[in-house]
Structures are given as structure tokens and as C-alpha cells.
Chain A
Amino acid sequence: MNAMTKSAAELRRAARDHILAPRLETPFHDRLMALSEVNDWYNWAGYKAPHSLFDSELEYFAIRSTAALFDISPMVKYRIAGPDAERYLNRLTLRDVMKLGVNRVHYTAWCDDHGHVLDDGTLFRLGAQEFRLCCQERHLPWLLDSAFGFTVDIREETEEIAGLALQGPTSYAVLRDAGFADVEKLKPFDIAAFPHEGSDVTISRTGFTGDLGYELFVQRAKALSLWDRLWAAGQPHAIRAIGYGALNQTRIEAGFIVANADFVTAEGSLRALRVRMPDEIGLDWLVDPDKPNFNGRRAILDARRNQTLKHILVGLEIEGNIPAEHAIVYHRKKHEAGLVTAAIWSPTAKRNIAIASLERPYGSKFTDDLWVEIYAMRELKYQKMMKRAKIVPRPFVKLARRTATPPGLT
């Protein structure tokens, strides 16, 4: 016991130097640094991450036309394992985990007791009793407290596991040429393990771009060799490394939302009225009322029955070509109806698109005659515009190659 205590203290002492590098470097930092032409870094959850590496506009076309490599290591990752893991996650999250097969991934979300969304994320089923949960915010106390009464082991593994997203029409070709045999068998949301350097790399056919693409997870120590393997194989397929600016464009086209950008998480909100229920951020389809009890179930079903839902998340197509980021949405140009949370000119759809959070009944009952007020600063003068907005289904961009199995080479 004494020896154990001492070693814990020693470990703790060894970790003191973290303050010397307040922005951690990801396992791929050396490669990113070498490729960074513009030194355009931002802080992603305490990590130094590229906003762009050479040119966001061109990086976008790497995703939509060839293959793009994006470092997702800063994403928060939890390993959840044990005999009750499935039952536990079913109680924790909105979707039915019993329907999630081994070697499958699903997108899900989880709520507090009031049905307010704590976060969204992807749940990887790596085995009958083994899962990985990936998300934007940190939840360890919530996950541990929720485990009361379950035989389950929960571990935060963000720093130990390196992650890469390989996205774009030639991403399959890159993996094939990198020697990942049978990777073409992966259907969307499938997972498989492949040998790499005496260890395993877990590849899933998932991504945040709405395009053909994969996500790869590997032990930190094998990160650089994995990068090099992909990079070498990717050269004939015009692989490029990209930053978040380009990825964000594609995720808006795909209609995906980002926690604490398109909605405020329940644990992150200082203002009580800012929280959202799943139905208020377009995640109603995740809620499975027929599965066993899950956290927030009663509040969500009550809100549906009593029609007390206050907000709704919609996709907007806006006339013109000026992105309407954070613009106010009006009904009949007069009544404030909500706020645009994300907006771009979509190079692929050739349309001005936006994701907006509206206050019901706008967006639910009143769906016509919506307008956005755009303030565009041009050479120190605001050009004020009132533009017509139309509610359209998401995704804004739907690509057949995303789901084609076997995947195409281009």
C-alpha cells in the first residue's frame, strides 16, 4: 500500500511540467507542423490544432475532390467496458444500444434528468462488452455518477488514443494502397481492426463531412507511422492535410451540428434558458421511446405530449450569396424568430445555406415568410440586407459516394 501511494505521488509529480506547454501538441503535431505553410493554429480543447495548413478554400476541395487528412486526436474519448456496458449506455444515451451491433458505430446524444442535451457524439461498439464514446465536451463525473449500480469500467483515454479522419472521394483508394486489405467491405458505420506496426488500427467508415470517408484510431505511439503510411499511399491520390476551416464548411453542407456552436450544452450553460432538448436541436430522431428507460426520457416525452418544446433547429436556404453567420431570423421581416448558428456559401450546392435555431411556433407552425438580416462589414461599412430564407431539409449536400459499397476509387 505504501509503495503504491508513493508511486501515485511520483506520477503526479512527474506531470507537473504540463504548465510549460499549455497548448498540448497532438500525436501528429510533427507532421502537421512540417506541412503548415501559414502557421494558423487555434486552441481545440487545450490542443494546438490547425485552422488551416495552406489555404482553407483549397483544403475544402481536397475533401470534396480527392482525399483530406484531418487530425481528430483532441476529440474527447472515453472507453466504456464491462458486463453491464450495454445496459449502462442504454440508460445513458438516447438511442437503443441493443440495436448497435459489434463493430458498428452510431451517432447519439445524452441528456440530464430534465431532458436537456449534455452532448452529442459517436458511440463505437468495439466488442460485446466494449465501447468507445467520442464527443466534444468532457463528462467524466457524469459518466461515473451514472454508472451507479452497473458493473462497468469507464476510462478517459483522450491523450492515449490518436485519431485521424481520412475523408474524400479517393479516401478508399488511399486506404487500399496503404495495404488495409478488405477495407472496401466496410459499409457506412462499420468498424474493423487492421494490423499496423505490430499493433491494431481501428478503422470505421464514418466522418463529419457527408462524403466518402473513414476515421482511424491508433495507440499514440503508432500515430506517426500511421500518418506516414497513409501519406505515402496517398500521394498518387492527391492527399492533402487540412485544418478545421475546411472541415467546418463540409460539416455545414452535411447538416451536422456542433456542441456549443449550434446548441449550448446543459453543463456549459450559465443561463438557464439556453439549454435545449433533443427535439429542439433536430435530434428527435435519436430518441427511442420504445427502448428501456433512459435518462431524460420522461421529460422529453412530457414535453412532446404537453407541447412545451420551445425551440426548433432548421436548415435554411437564403437568397443571395452573403453568408448569414449569426444573423437574426425574422418572420414577415418583423417578428424576431431566431438566430443563425452556422452559415456558408456552399461551393458544392452552389447555394447560400445556414443552420438556425428558431423559437417555436416559428419553424414549426410558421414556416413561410422567413427572413434573415445580414450585416456584412465591407471596408468599415455595414451593408445591411434583409434576405428571404426558406426552410429546407438537411443535409444540404447529399453525395451518393458516401454510402456506395463497395466504395468508388474516385
Chain B
Amino acid sequence: MQKYDALIVGGGHNGLVTACYLQRAGLNVVVVEKNGWVGGAATSRELTPGFLYSNCSYVCSLFRPEIMRDLELPKHGLQVIAYEGGAVFTRDGDYLASYRDHDSHRREFARYSKRDAEAYERYARDVTRQCRFIQPLLMRTAPDPFGFRPRDLSEFLYLAKKFGEFSPHEMAETLRFWTMSISDFLDEYFETDVIKAYLALSGIIGTALGPMSPGTAYVLLHHYMGEVDGSVGAWGYARGGMGAVTQALARSFEAVGGTIRTDAEVSKILTRGGRTTGVVLANGDEIRADLVVSNADVKRTFLKLVDEDALPGDFVHRVKHFKMRGSSGKVNIALDSLPEFPALPEGSSCLRGDMHFTDSIERMERAYDDWKDGRWSADPFLDMVIPTTLDPTMASPGKHFMSCFVQYCPPKVEGRDWTDADRDAFAETVIGQIADYSPGFRDRIVHMEVRTPREIENEVGLTEGNIFQGELTFDQLLFNRPVPGYAQYRSPIHGLYMCGSSTHPGGGVMGAPGRNAAAEILRDLKRTPEQMSKAHDVI
């Protein structure tokens, strides 16, 4: 039986990042993936002939450029294209656009309110200040107040120093930012409904909270602290769909001798005497490894793959109560022509950006009310993009792939499991909303993939289909992510590590959890990685 130095459970982007760094440090690493392809929630799949679907994650900004460079991802085919602006369509037939050009952006806001137009500067400054504070923390292991080893102390000192660079006024702002609702936060800057609705979107995407729930202001930061080539807050498309990220990672991994096994679902992580010895696959095969690193979320890892009696009771209790609630769905559509939105001027750059139909915070909050009642939102909010307007590799000329992220969508429908009929009704809600703003939309549809939390959990393995492997609220961040005392990628079982988005700094196609996990593993092995860049300076 072959034995590996390290085995990665799940070939998502973070698992592959960890695998790459470990293999490059001289370990013999195998990635074990249940699907017939790697990628996890960052995939490009040809679900109908001629169309590549970014069928889970769909835009790219958070993926750390340090990792792209270390792992030579550009050489292995990764290209990220910045995109332009976007729009919210309003019910009165108008829209609010977002433009990259600073003055155009201001004039667009001024169509609704001169005051809001001039308030945007201060808003952008305040958000950017907070992002500048957080960005360097992404690529550092969170200090562990339970361990208090010298390194934890120095990390605490680092945090304190970073914080100390703030004026008392800014410290107060930071605490407010990490705890407020996005709605309250925006009220302090803006007066116009549609402007607030547009800016609030980033505060609730992927989160089982409404815009009026405390903690959502931080979620907005999480979406703003990415970058495309140093342009902080910018978003882009991975050329070839989000699978391009994981394909480049897989090629980088294999290029240095790593092994990937697909169609190999892990059914159990083996432990003996408090340490891991490998895994058993669903087909009964056993693979031995000194280290096992789980890319699966913390619930799946410890409640399904590890025997409960091998774990401390309090740990299990914490894992059970880690908030990882399904809140979103996805409708992926192949179109035989570019949809028209009569509200937009011809050739509008908005078509090349993100589009939405929810023009007030109140509508968003009511959409959330439906979720609380166990129903998908009757009037959902969509984050809709058409990457083929900028990426010629995903469909043939004139044809388009459209990705619609849909919120809210509950893990169970009024307490019972999803049925196919529910799924179709959910899709109709989404298509109906788009068609209200885009005449003839239905006729352009060639093929459609509808994913409720049920489909996402079944295929990708994310518990309840939660895209972040656990919500990004302050109680689940830094040394509390995923479990206090286990925030440094280690687990109660010797040799078993976590590297998924359940760990610091959280979800999104960022790669930082995977990289930080590799750093901790190598530290335990007293090895140094071949190349692991420090976080880029924020000056």
C-alpha cells in the first residue's frame, strides 16, 4: 500500500494551494477528490456543448496575488481580467450604474442625489481605510489566546501595533465596522434607496443575514479587500471561468510531482491513539498518510469524516454550533444571444459588470424574511454577470454564459427537503425577475443549471451549500474561526489539519487559508517552504 507524507481531502482551491506548497517543500502529497474533476466551488464545466459554466463561484478578486506568483499560476494558464462597473435596475425603468471612471461615478450618483454623489468620497475613504487594516492580516495565522506561545504573543503585538497606528477615532470606527449592520452603516453616508441597496449587496452575499442584521458591515469589507493587480476592491473574471484558478493550481501541483486522485470520495479519516493514519475511500480503498489536511468544511470534516469518540466533547459541540447556514442558490444559464436591457443605453459598460434588480434595502430585508420562514425569496436579489462579454473562451462568438447568484435560498423548504419541483419553482422566480427587465429573455435560453443548497451540498460538499464554509460574522473570525483554540489550522487530532474556508481568514476564492495552513504544517515539520511570499506591503 502506498503511503504519502500528506493527503489532502478535497480538491478545492484551498486544498490545492496547500498541496502545492507542501509538495514544493519536498513532501509527497496526494489530493483526493470525490468528483471526477478538481476545483470544488471554483470550476468551469461544459454542462451543455459549447458553453463553459462557472457554476459555483463566478468572479475573482480575493485570490491573493502572492499565491499566484509563488505557485507560478500565470505560467499554468491563469489570467484574471478586471471588469467594468455594473448596475442596479430600478422598478421605474431607470437604473443606477457604477462606473470605473471616478467623475462618471459621481455624476451617476448625482442623478439621484447631489449629496450622495459627494458623500461617496468619504464612504470610499472609510471603507478603504478598514480594508488596508485587514489586508495584511489575511496572510497571517491568527494569534491563539489559548496557547500563548511566544509566536502568539508576537502576533498579538503585531495586531496591537497595527491597531495602534489608528487614531482613537479610527479604532472606534473599526469596532463599529466589525459589528454594525450594513444598512445602519450606509445610512450614515447616503440618503438614496437605490444607492444604499447597491452598496449593501456586498454586505449580505453568501450570508444568512439581512442588510439590517448586525455584522453585515464586515461582510462588505470582506468583499472589498480583494484586488485586481493592486486596484483594491476591483473584481474580475478568471479567463476560462473560475475553473481556470483550480486548473492552474492542479497543473502547478502536478508539475512538481504531486498526485491527484479524482472519483475518490473519502468516507472516513482514520485515527489511532489520537493521531491520524490516513483515510478510507467510499470504495473501501485505504490510503495511508502521516498527515491529513481537510479542505472540507469543519462540519463535514469533524461530524462526518472523523469518529466522534476520537474528539473532545466540547470541540464537537462547538463544531455543531458553528454557523454555516445555506442562504443562497445559483442559476447558470447558456444564452444564444446577448440579452437586452432596454433601460440601459446601447453598448453600456454595465453589461460587462455585475447587475442587480433590488433597488431598496427594504426589498432585501423582505427577501431575508422569506428565508427565515423557510422559503426562498419571492422577490430575491440577484448578483448577475455575463463573463462572456469579456472572456471569449467560455462560449462561441455571439453566445453567452450568464451566472446568477441568488439570495435567499434556504437549506430546507419549510422544514422538509428540497424536491425537483421546488427547484424548478425557485428557478422560475429568478427567470421571471430577469424577464421583467429583459424582454425576450426566456427565448434566448439554451440550457440552464439550477442549484439550490441541496445541489451545492451534494456536488461540492459544502454543508447546507454555504459558500463561505461558515458565516463571516465577528463571532466566527480570527481566533474564533472555526473553533476557539483550533484557529491555527490544527485540530484535536494529531496530524489532522484544516485548510478550507472554515478557517481564518474565511471564504471566497482567496487561497489564504490554504497557504496559511501549509505554513503551519511546515512549521510543525520544521521545514521551510521553497517559496512562500509574505503578504504584500500595504503602504
Contact = CB atoms under 8 A, between A and B. Distances in A.
B107 interface: yes
A394 interface: no
A138 B114 CA distance: 10
Contacts of B170: 272
A267 B129 CA distance: 12
Interface in A309-360: none
B352 to A, nearest CB: 13
Interface residues of B, number: 34
Contacts of A137: 121
A19 B345 contact: yes
Given A139-B118, A141-B118, A46 B106 contact: yes
Contacts of A9: 92, 94
A195 interface: no
Given A12-B112, A15-B111, A272 B165 contact: yes
B283 interface: no
Nearest to B119: A141
B103 interface: yes
Interface string A40-77: 00010110000000000000000000000000000000
Contacts of A18: 104, 107-108, 111
Contacts of A272: 129, 165-167, 170
Contact of A16 (B111, B125, B132): B111
B119 A13 contact: no
Interface string A236-274: 000000000000000000000000000000011110100
B31 to A, nearest CB: 40
- Give the top 5 A-B pairs by smallest Cβ distance, nearest first: A46-B103, A140-B118, A138-B118, A141-B119, A18-B107
B437 interface: no
Interface in B53-100: 92, 94, 97, 99
Contact of A268 (B92, B101, B125, B349): B125
A17 B111 contact: no
Interface string B122-135: 10010011001000
A22 B165 contact: no
Contact of B121 (A15, A22, A24, A267): A267
B169 interface: yes
B98 to A, nearest CB: 11
A144 B115 contact: yes
Contacts of A20: 345
A1 to B, nearest CB: 15
Given A15-B111, A18-B108, A268 B165 contact: no
A177 interface: no
A220 interface: no
Nearest to B132: A270
Interface residues of A, number: 28
Given A46-B107, A141-B115, A270 B345 contact: no
A259 to B, nearest CB: 13
A115 to B, nearest CB: 12
Contacts of A19: 97, 99, 104, 107-108, 345, 348-349
Kindly name the residue among B92, B99, B104 whose own CB sees the greatest number of chain A CB atoms within 10 A: B104
B103 A269 contact: no
Contacts of A43: 103
A103 B29 CA distance: 81
Contacts of A270: 125, 128-129, 132
B94 A114 contact: no
18 contacts: A12-B111, A15-B111, A16-B345, A18-B104, A19-B345, A20-B345, A22-B99, A22-B101, A23-B103, A46-B103, A46-B104, A137-B121, A144-B115, A156-B118, A267-B121, A270-B125, A270-B129, A272-B170
Nearest to A112: B169
Interface in A111-144: 114, 137-141, 144
Contacts of A139: 118
Kindly name the residue among A17, A43, A141, A268 whose own CB sees the greatest number of chain B CB atoms within 10 A: A141
A23 B99 CA distance: 13
Interface string A186-200: 000000000000000
Given A139-B118, A144-B115, A45 B108 contact: no
Contacts of B125: 267-270
A97 to B, nearest CB: 23
A114 B169 contact: yes
Contacts of B117: 140
Interface in A1-35: 9, 12-13, 15-20, 22-24
A13 B114 CA distance: 15
Given A156-B118, A272-B165, 20 more contacts: A9-B94, A12-B111, A12-B112, A15-B111, A16-B94, A18-B108, A18-B111, A19-B97, A19-B99, A19-B345, A20-B345, A45-B103, A138-B121, A140-B114, A140-B117, A140-B118, A141-B118, A268-B121, A269-B125, A272-B129
Contacts of A23: 103
Interface string A138-153: 1111001000000000
Contacts of B119: 140-141
A4 to B, nearest CB: 14
Nearest to B107: A18
A394 B335 CA distance: 67
Interface string B419-456: 00000000000000000000000000000000000000
Nearest to B94: A13
Contacts of B92: 9
B114 A156 contact: yes
B97 A22 contact: no
Nearest to B190: A141
A268 B97 CA distance: 23
Contacts of A138: 106, 118, 121
Contacts of B349: 19
B92 to A, nearest CB: 6
Kindly name the residue among A12, A45, A156 whose own CB sees the greatest number of chain B CB atoms within 10 A: A12
Given A16-B345, A19-B345, A272-B170, A267 B122 contact: yes
A348 to B, nearest CB: 35
Contacts of A267: 121-122, 125
A97 B108 CA distance: 35
A84 B49 CA distance: 70
Contacts of A140: 114-115, 117-119
A267 B128 CA distance: 12
Interface string A268-283: 1110100000000000
